[in-house]
Amino acid sequence: MRTLAIDTQRFKIAGEGFAISRGRRTHAEVLKVTLTENGKTGQGECVPYARYGESMDSVAEQIKSAQTALEGGLTRQNLQDHLPAGAARNAVDSALWDLEAKLSGKTAAELAGLAPLKPVTTAFTLSVNTPEKMAQAAAEAAHRPLLKVKLCGDGDDERIAAVRANAPRSRLIVDANEAWNSGNFDRNMDACERAGVALIEQPLPADNDGLLAEMERNVTICADESLHPGEDMAVLRDRYDAVNIKLDKSGGLTEALKMLQRARDLEFQVMIGCMLGTSLAMAPAFLIAQSADFVDLDGPLLLAEDRTPPIRFEGSTMFPPPPALWG
């Protein structure tokens, strides 16, 4: 007999909170799923994403709609047809991977056909703010090898220059969260090239990114909001050089592994990204991180509190999740 439990939780974000082009938050709100069978418990976490019409309530209701099937033994493979891609399926899929690992005595990496997991280097994210405050944040994080810079549109050229001046040795990636437009695009792009930015994530709105197909550039452009599970990512090849795979969008590790293979077949670079969650949310994504070109799984580093046991970080080096946490 298998049982399902759903728990909503809040974790305080460190410092003044976390800000992107769509707003600022002081807490990470997450939903945790546990599945218990034969004395073993698997767990998974998701973060509902308002950009795609999700809320804590709507995601919880989606999971509850599958409760009978899950408690009746629904498998990971059948789950893909039972729930749509999104945060709800991610939490359940992650819990099923963890449960399968614990019941079988194998690691999730073994179940996925992967070699033993190795440490990776993750980006560390700087919230969008004034150029002056971002300069200070960059100086404090200048020892980190990879910084992700959140942007918001107008004035981003000054923000990029300020970060680069104060973190001269760090590799930079930037994320505009769809905030650029035809009026500031060239100026912001020029600033990225001058700063030696390695990757620009979703500079234009997903429904107005055709400009990217017409331009020459020296910076890798990565699709995030333009990437949709269930749609062939080949349609993005004329506009983007890389794709950002997020488990809360793909609907879990099971689909993310398929997306990873499809991206490689199309010769995309791959970024593994995350929402603002705890170590439990990062754990299944760590499997994708093993072969990703860019790793952005710093959610726990941005929190004032995390789960126990947490994933271990030494600076920006991220270690495999402990079995007691996941997998």
d(Cα 249, Cα 51) in Å, to the nearest integer?
A: 11
**Per DSSP, what are the bridge partners of residue 24?**
19
* Dihedral angle over CA of 5, 95, 303, 19, nearest 10: -100
Which residue among the candidates 32, 102, 148, 246 is catalytic per the annotation? 246
C-beta separation of 229 from 194 below 8 A = no
d(Cα 150, Cα 323) in Å, to the nearest integer?
A: 32
Backbone angles phi, psi at 19, to 5 degrees: -130, 135
Q: What is the CA radius of gyration of the chain?
A: 19
d(Cα 76, Cα 88) in Å, to the nearest integer?
A: 13
- For 54, how many CA atoms within 13 A lie in the half-sphere containing its CB? 25
Residue 150 a catalytic site member: yes
d(Cα 239, Cα 204) in Å, to the nearest integer?
A: 11
d(Cα 213, Cα 50) in Å, to the nearest integer?
A: 28
d(Cα 275, Cα 271) in Å, to the nearest integer?
A: 13
Residue 64 a catalytic site member: no
d(Cα 85, Cα 126) in Å, to the nearest integer?
A: 28
Decide the pairing of beta strands 146-150 and 124-126.
Answer: parallel
> For the stretch 118-136, what's the b/e string if a residue is b when 16 or more beta carbons lie within 10 angstroms of its beta carbon?
eebbbbbbbbbbebeebbe
Which residue among the candidates 40, 150, 249, 258 is catalytic per the annotation? 150
C-beta separation of 253 from 284 below 8 A = yes
Please name which of 26, 27, 24 lies closest in space to residue 9, comparing C-alpha atoms: 27
Mind telling me the catalytic residues? 150, 246
